[in-house]
């Protein structure tokens, strides 16, 4: 973390978990144990149907509500999809884009990720752009080439001014939901590389100010070590974000003076 230059963001990614009533239950429980997080922002990204329930439930807490996906067209005949304007109008601030599960199960590509980033920015949302290599790619030694390609493709055509609204999440696919976390050094190395890539694209000042999260089996036991890496500015957390006590333990790790 480097709080002098950029925000630390602890974000939950609920994926396809929790009903609207379970959302309220989570918020009620969280309320009793949530610390005054002075040093980090807390965000919960929920399934789109639960967004209104989440906005109500987290209203009086310092917890921001985000979405897990968005479609890139403004409106039209796209049955089942949700537009950036719809999310913005509800009061959503952040949206996860290009999560590896979307790439793996729903055919998202670097091209659609780029279109979604533009649509989100256009609507005034903050995209959380996910990048990450598979185990095979890591073993082939092409991690940095792939990350560079993903970052450059996702941000193609994004102005420096708009980039200030973006967050990047490095999520090695082999660490997601597997209990197998990247070591702090492995995670830190890629996050430093992502910042260097952004420096080449946008210059040092902007690169210094962008929040880069790590995601992939982050939990209360490993959060402090991961967050101690200079270029890891928070976490995108799946499993551990579904339990208020574990989520709070990670927030506490990010909130150390
Ligand atoms: P995990 O998920 O923490 O359950 O590994 C992280 C993510 O997919 O964002």
Q: Give yes or no for residue 216 CB within 6 A of ligand 1.
A: yes
Q: Give yes or no for residue 218 CB within 6 A of ligand 1.
A: yes
Q: Give yes or no for residue 66 CB within 6 A of ligand 1.
A: no
Distance CA 225, CA 84 (A): 35
Is the Cβ–Cβ distance between 118 and 91 less than 8 Å? Answer: no
Is the Cβ–Cβ distance between 65 and 91 less than 8 Å? Answer: yes
Res 257 pLDDT > 80: no
pLDDT band at 235 (very low <50, low <70, confident <90, very high): very high
Nearest in space to 175 (alpha carbons), one of 97, 127, 235: 235
Give the tokens for residue 159.
């102005």
Q: What is the mean pLDDT of the chain?
A: 96
Nearest in space to 84 (alpha carbons), one of 198, 165, 151: 165
The residues, ordered by sequence, that sit 6+ positions from 64 with a Cβ below 8 Å of its Cβ are 41, 42, 43, 44, 58, 93, 94
Is the Cβ–Cβ distance between 97 and 115 less than 8 Å? Answer: no
**Looking at residue 20, what is its pLDDT?**
98
The catalytic residues are: 99, 171
pLDDT per residue as tens digits for the range 171-203: 999 999 888 888 999 999 999 999 999 999 999
Q: Give yes or no for residue 239 CB within 6 A of ligand 1.
A: yes
Phi, psi dihedral angles at 185 (to 5 degrees): -70, -45
**Looking at residue 190, what is its pLDDT?**
98
Nearest atom (ligand 1) to Cα of 169 = 9
Nearest atom (ligand 1) to Cα of 177 = 5
Spacing, Cα 203 to ligand 1 middle (Å): 30
Spacing, Cα 76 to ligand 1 middle (Å): 32
Spacing, Cα 48 to ligand 1 middle (Å): 18
Tell me how many degrees the CA angle 211-96-241 measures, rounded to the nearest 5. 85
Q: Give yes or no for residue 235 CB within 6 A of ligand 1.
A: no
Of all protein residues, the one whose alpha carbon is nearest to atom 1 of ligand 1 is: 238
257, β-bridge pairs: none
pLDDT per residue as tens digits for the range 17-36: 999 999 999 999 999 999 88
pLDDT band at 212 (very low <50, low <70, confident <90, very high): very high
HEC readout, the chain: CCCCCCCCEEEEECCCCCCHHHHHHHHHHHHHHCCCCCCCEEEEEECHHHHHHHHHHCCCCCCEEEECCCECCCCCCCCCCCEHHHHHHHCCCEEEECCHHHHHHCCCCHHHHHHHHHHHHHHCCEEEEEECCCHHHHHHCCHHHHHHHHHHHHHCCCCHHHHCCCEEEECCHHHCCCCCCCCHHHHHHHHHHHHHHHHHHHCHHHHHHCEEEEECCCCCCCHHHHHCCCCCCEEEECHHHHCHHHHHHHHHHHCCC
Q: Average pLDDT, stretch 61-76?
A: 97
Res 37 pLDDT > 80: no
Whether pTM exceeds 0.85: yes
Res 124 pLDDT > 90: yes
**Looking at residue 9, what is its pLDDT?**
98
Give the tokens for residue 214.
């790590």
Spacing, Cα 238 to ligand 1 middle (Å): 4
Give the tokens for residue 245.
């006590």
Q: Average pLDDT, stretch 147-173?
A: 98
Nearest in space to 14 (alpha carbons), one of 183, 127, 143, 177: 177
- Work out the percent of the chain whose per-residue pLDDT is above 90: 93
């Amino acid at each position: 973390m480097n709080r002098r230059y950029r925000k630390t963001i602890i974000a939950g990614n609920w994926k396809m978990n929790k009903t609207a009533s379970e959302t309220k239950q989570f918020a009620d429980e969280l309320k009793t144990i949530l610390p005054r997080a002075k040093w980090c922002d807390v965000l919960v990204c929920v399934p789109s149907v639960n967004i209104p329930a989440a906005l109500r439930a987290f209203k009086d807490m310092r917890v921001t509500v985000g979405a897990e996906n968005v479609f890139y067209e403004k409106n039209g005949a796209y049955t089942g999809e949700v537009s950036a304007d719809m999310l913005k109008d509800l009061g959503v601030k952040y949206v996860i884009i290009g999560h590896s599960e979307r790439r793996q199960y729903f055919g998202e590509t670097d091209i659609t990720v780029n279109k979604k980033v533009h649509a989100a920015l256009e609507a005034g949302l903050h995209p959380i752009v996910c990048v990450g290599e598979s185990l095979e790619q890591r073993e082939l030694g092409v991690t940095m080439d792939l990350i560079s390609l993903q970052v450059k493709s996702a941000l193609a055509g994004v102005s420096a001014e708009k980039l200030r609204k973006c967050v990047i999440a490095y999520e090695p696919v082999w660490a997601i939901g597997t209990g197998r976390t990247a070591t702090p050094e492995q995670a830190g190395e890629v996050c430093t590389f992502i910042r260097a890539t952004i420096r080449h694209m946008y210059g040092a000042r902007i690169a210094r100010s962008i929040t880069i999260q790590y995601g992939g089996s982050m939990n209360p036991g490993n959060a402090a070590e991961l967050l101690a890496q200079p270029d890891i500015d928070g976490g995108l957390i799946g499993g551990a974000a579904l339990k208020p006590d574990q989520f709070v333990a990670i927030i506490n790790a990010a909130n150390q003076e």
